[in-house]
Amino acid sequence: MKHNAPDNSDRLQPVFDYHQATKHRFDAYAPGPGFLDWESQPNPFRRYTGARLIPLDIVPPTDEPRYDAIFTPGRTPSCAPLTARSISQLFYDSLALSAWKSTGDSRWALRVNASSGNLHPTEGYLICGPVEGLCERPMVCHYAPEVHALEVLAEFDAALWDALRGGYPRHTVFIGLTSIHWREAWKYGRRAYRYCMHDAGHAIGAISLAAAGLGWHTRLLDELGAEDLALLMGTFRPHDAEREEADVLMACAPMDQVLPATGPPGAPVASFTALAWQGSPNHLSPSHVEWGIGELAECVRKPRAAVRYEPLQSPPTAWPREPRPLSLRRIIRQRRSAVAMDGQTRLSRDTFYRMLHRTLAVAGAVPFNTLPWKSRIHLAIFVHRVDDLPTGLYLLVRDAAQTGTLQEALTQADPWRRPPACPPQLPLYCLIEADARGAARQISCHQAIAGDGCFSLAMLAEFTAPLKRYGPWFYPRLYWEAGLIGQVLYLEAEAAGLRATGIGCYFDDPLHEVLGLADTAFQDLYHFTVGGPLDDERLTTLPAYADR
C-alpha cells in the first residue's frame, strides 16, 4: 500500500505498513501467536519494589453527583478541594479495581477502565505538588491498582514543581499514562499495539469522567514529546523488566480555574533525570515475543513541538434534556462488558439518540474537551432493535465539515435521509434500510454480540489526511479518540439499563467494502455493541478491596 503523500510520506510508510499488516481478513487473521502460552502470561500488576507506598482511601459511591450533570456545562458539580481524599477518589473512579471474578480455581480482577482481553497494558502515574493529607513535598508516583495505593518513585523541591507547573493553576495535578505492549502482544500478537492505544483512550476517558465528578477538568498536554513524558514519569530509567512506552500526560485542575492553552515549559523536564529515583519495576513474564511492535512504537513517538490543531468549524450543539436520577460514581464503577447479548432487548429511539449525542464533542463537554484535536471519528451504526427506527445502516457525522467528503466516499449508501424525529443537534443519517444483524456479526469476527444487541457500530476514522498533516505520531491519537467514545458508550449503556462491549476483533476491509470505501481516506478503527446482556451464571463476583 504505497501512498503519494506530499509530505511526511516516508515517515508514514511504517505506519501504513503496520496498519495494513494488522488487518484481520476473512481468509487470515493478523499475525499472532495462535495459542496462549500460559507459562509466559504477563502479570497484570506492575509494582515498584522498594518504593514507599501511600495507601489511598476507598471512597464509596454516593448519590451525588448525578450522572447527567457532568455532561452539561454549567450544571457540573462544584469543585472538590485538592486533598488525599479527592486524589483517592480520582483513581478509585478511573483506574482502580471494580470487582473480582472467579470460577473454579481461577480468579481475575476487573477494573473501572475497560481493556482488550482484560489484559490492562495501561499504567498510571501521578505528578503533583504538595497535597493536603497526601504529601508535603512534590512527587512522582506510580498508581498500583492491585492495592489502590501510590508508589512514590521520586520527590522533588517546590521550585522545580513551580517551574514545571508554569502557567497552570496552583491546584493542578498531572496524570501520566504508559503502555506495556507485551501484556496485549502475549495474546494478540502484532495487532496488539492497536489494542494498547484503544485502552489508553479508555483510560484517558475514565480519568476525564472521574475528574468531572470532582468538578475538575482535564487537558492533554500535547506539546511535550514522548521522551519528556518518560522523564517526568521516570520510565526512562534503564531496567531489564518489560518496557513501558510513555503515551500521555494530562493536566487535571478544578473547573473554576482556567487551564492555559499550552503545556508546561519543557526546560525543567530535563531536571527529572537527576532526581533520586526509588523502586524497581517487577518482571511480568519469563519470556517474550517482540512482534515488531517496538519498531512501530518508536516510529509514532511524538517529538517535543507545539502543535497547531485545527478547531471544529461548526461544533455540535448541546441538546438539553431532563437529567435522570442516576449516580455518576455508581454508573462508573458498575461498568462491565457484556459477554453475550440476549437478542431481544429493545431500546427506545429517544434513548438511542441521547446516547449518540453524548459521543459528540459539544463545546466544553466531557470527556472530549480533554482532546486538543478536532473530532476525527465518525460512527457507522448497524441498528438492530431500536423502537420506531427502521433497521439498517446509519452514520453519525461527528464533524459536520466532513459531511460532503463522507457522502462522496461512502459509495454503497442510498441517498442519505434524516431518521424520524431526529433532533437537529444530532447529525445522524440513514444510509441503507436492511436487516444488518448478519453483516454486523460477520464483520465483527463472527461474534454474536455484534448482531444480538440493540445496535453495534464501527468507528470510521479520517485516516490519511490527519496522518499526512501531523505525521506518524497522530496514529495512536486516532485510537485514543476511539477509546474515549468507547468509554462514553459503556457508561451510556449502563445509564440506560443496558450493557456494552468494545470489539477490537473485526475484519477491516470487509467493513470498508460494505460502505463502499475505495481507499484509505477513512479506516475502521474500533467496533462496539450495546444491548441487553446475558450473564454468565458460572462466574462469581466478589467486591474489590474486600480486605479494606
Ligand X SMILES: Cc1cc2nc3c(=O)[nH]c(=O)nc-3n(C[C@H](O)[C@H](O)[C@H](O)COP(=O)(O)O)c2cc1C
**The binder of ligand X chosen from 86, 89, 456, 501 (CB under 6 A):** 501
Contacts of 96 (CB under 8 A, 6+ apart): 111, 112, 145, 148, 544
Q: Does 110 bind ligand X (CB under 6 A)?
A: yes
Q: Left (φ > 0), alpha (ψ -120 to 50) or beta: where does 166 sit? A: left
Q: C-beta of 291: minimal distance to ligand X in Å?
A: 17
Kindly tell me which of 198 and 437 has the beta carbon lying closer to ligand X. Answer: 198
Interface map 505-544 toward ligand X (x if CB under 6 A): x---------------------------------------
Interface map 136-175 toward ligand X (x if CB under 6 A): ----------------------------------------
**The binder of ligand X chosen from 114, 147, 204, 206 (CB under 6 A):** 114
d(C-alpha 115, C-alpha 458), whole Å = 18
Q: C-beta of 446: minimal distance to ligand X in Å?
A: 11
Q: C-beta of 489: minimal distance to ligand X in Å?
A: 11
The sign of the CA dihedral 129, 131, 137, 142 is: negative
Kindly tell me which of 154 and 209 has the beta carbon lying closer to ligand X. Answer: 209
Q: Which stretch binds ligand X (CB under 6 A): 77-85, 278-286, 499-507, 536-544?
A: 499-507
Which 440-479 positions form the footprint of ligand X (CB under 6 A)?
A: 447, 449
Nearest to 480, CA basis, from 86, 208, 87, 104: 208
Q: Which stretch binds ligand X (CB under 6 A): 109-117, 359-367, 390-398, 512-520?
A: 109-117
**The binder of ligand X chosen from 281, 504, 532, 533 (CB under 6 A):** 504
The C-alpha cell of 477 is what? 491519537
Kindly tell me which of 199 and 508 has the beta carbon lying closer to ligand X. Answer: 199
The C-alpha cell of 404 is what? 460532503
Q: C-beta of 378: minimal distance to ligand X in Å?
A: 18
Q: Which stretch binds ligand X (CB under 6 A): 49-57, 116-124, 128-136, 159-167?
A: 116-124
d(C-alpha 348, C-alpha 496), whole Å = 10
Q: Does 94 bind ligand X (CB under 6 A)?
A: no
CB 285 within 8 A of CB 240: no
d(C-alpha 437, C-alpha 451), whole Å = 4
Q: C-beta of 335: minimal distance to ligand X in Å?
A: 7
**The binder of ligand X chosen from 337, 359, 369, 442 (CB under 6 A):** 337
Q: Does 315 bind ligand X (CB under 6 A)?
A: no
DSSP state of 191: G
**The binder of ligand X chosen from 86, 88, 89, 115 (CB under 6 A):** 115
CB-side neighbour CA atoms (13 Å) of 136: 0
Kindly tell me which of 101 and 288 has the beta carbon lying closer to ligand X. Answer: 101
d(C-alpha 443, C-alpha 210), whole Å = 33
Which 188-217 positions form the footprint of ligand X (CB under 6 A)?
A: 195, 198-199, 202
Contacts of 513 (CB under 8 A, 6+ apart): 412
CB 426 within 8 A of CB 356: yes
Q: C-beta of 46: minimal distance to ligand X in Å?
A: 18
Q: Are strands 139-144 and 48-49 parallel, antiparallel or unpaired?
A: unpaired
Q: Does 86 bind ligand X (CB under 6 A)?
A: no
**Helix/strand/coil (H/E/C) assignment for every residue in 63-87:** CCCECHHHHCCCCCCCCCCCEHHHH
Q: C-beta of 123: minimal distance to ligand X in Å?
A: 16
d(C-alpha 82, C-alpha 128), whole Å = 10
The C-alpha cell of 106 is what? 481461577
Enumerate binding residues for ligand X (CB under 6 A): 110-111, 114-118, 195, 198-199, 202, 336-337, 447, 449, 501-505
